[in-house]
Amino acid sequence: GLLTVRLHRMRDRLRRQKVELEAALAHIHRLATHDDLTGLVNRRHMQELLENERMRLERSEQDWCVALIDLDHFKSVNDAHGHAIGDEVLRALSRHAHTLIRRTDVLARWGGEEFVLLLPNTPIVMAANSLERLREHFHANPLRVHDIDLPLSFSAGLTEHLRGESVAQTLERADKLCEQ
């Protein structure tokens, strides 16, 4: 009777609390691994993903590439239109890029107007084609933010991870290529 009813109520309450706790943990994980502004993977989480890819590669023959992407003339967008428009450009770029990259690729906000694109299981020629598709799309389709057409171009340093090198060394090479 009464004991059974109390046990059922307690079990139901514990079930609800478990669901709420799982939702809270998922939310905390998302906050810890994603950029607030763009919703992209954040720098810390991307470094983990790159390290995982490096370790996976040590055991396989798969190639993977990484591109460091830097938006051109982003400071002038902020100066001319304000930081709110600049933020909107970063959000729009993130949304568009997600529709253009493969589901297995990962785009991260690296900082400011810098992004890192991880292309797993991708030889350099295919990675270059993906990057070129991204560049052509943004060239042909200016971002429309608050009735302002903003042409978007970027510089990118694309490199293939070399076996035996650290993630930091791969990123350094990509960064040098981006500056050229």
For residue 179, name the pLDDT band (cuts at 50, 70, 90).
confident
How buried is 17 (Cβ within 10 angstroms: 0-12 exposed, 13-18 middle, 19+ buried)?
Answer: exposed
Per-residue confidence (pLDDT) for residue 45, from 0 to 100: 95
For residue 145, name the pLDDT band (cuts at 50, 70, 90).
confident
Active site residue ranges: 113
Locate 75 and state its tokens. 């400071």
Q: For the stretch 65-97, what's the b/e string if a residue is b when 16 or more beta carbons lie within 10 angstroms of its beta carbon?
A: bbbbbbbeebeebbeebeeebbebbbbbbbebb
For residue 164, name the pLDDT band (cuts at 50, 70, 90).
confident
Per-residue confidence (pLDDT) for residue 151, from 0 to 100: 81
Rounded to 10 deg, the angle between the 74-81 and 83-100 helix axes is: 140
Per-residue confidence (pLDDT) for residue 63, from 0 to 100: 86
The more confidently predicted of residues 141 and 42 is 42
